[in-house]
Amino acid sequence: MEGFNEQVVKRATKLKNILIKVLSVVLLITVPIVCIILGYVITPYMVYVGLFLFMGGIYIVWYVFTSQRVEFEYSVAGDELDISKVISLRKRKRVCKVPIREIEKLDKGAQTIKNMRFSKTFVAARDIDAESENYYAVFNSVAYGRCLLIFTPNDQILQGMKSYLNKDIVLKLFYHRNVG
């Protein structure tokens, strides 16, 4: 193994994540209160059901809150780019493993892939809406065919990939020369 570079990218908090958190807290409060109110109307045992739901709901809300913390780990080891998704430091899932020599295109901004079709898209970016900081890599996979990888590498990861990338990509990306 010639070199090893690693980067951890935290996913940006979006409105959807905040709404999930707010909804889980609202449910934590309203469901036990409804059960306690029903305890006075239907049967007194509903008060106990409401308390047990509240205690169980605390754990569920904690789990939902911590599940919203997502990080992507990029690592370049030799000629392979390995990307994993880490959820709240308790669960790791491999997003993709790309042989760097198989990358056909690697560029910043979505305009380079505008009219292309892909059989599979891997998203491992900090913020999918921030086109100016995301890199788009096109590669062929044995399992899926032509694939797109959207990720947010730093200079260290790009430098680790540099020696294995196609010469045209290196000239365009690092030396800003347009190669036909």
| Domain boundaries along the sequence of the chain | 15-67
Of the candidates 100, 96, 101, 98, the one whose C-alpha atom is nearest the C-alpha of residue 85 is 96
- At residue 1 the predicted structure's pLDDT band, cuts being 50, 70 and 90, is very low
Distance of alpha carbon 5 from alpha carbon 13, whole angstroms: 26
Mean pLDDT of 7-11: 92
pLDDT exceeds 80 at position 43: yes
Of the candidates 68, 65, 100, the one whose C-alpha atom is nearest the C-alpha of residue 87 is 68
DSSP conformational letter for 116: -
> What percentage of the chain carries pLDDT values higher than 90?
61
Which residue type sits at 43?
T
DSSP conformational letter for 164: T
Contact 119, 145 (CB under 8 A): yes
Q: Which residue has the higher pLDDT, 120 or 177?
A: 120
| pLDDT tens figures, 63-115 | 999 999 999 999 999 889 999 999 998 899 999 999 999 999 998 877 778 88
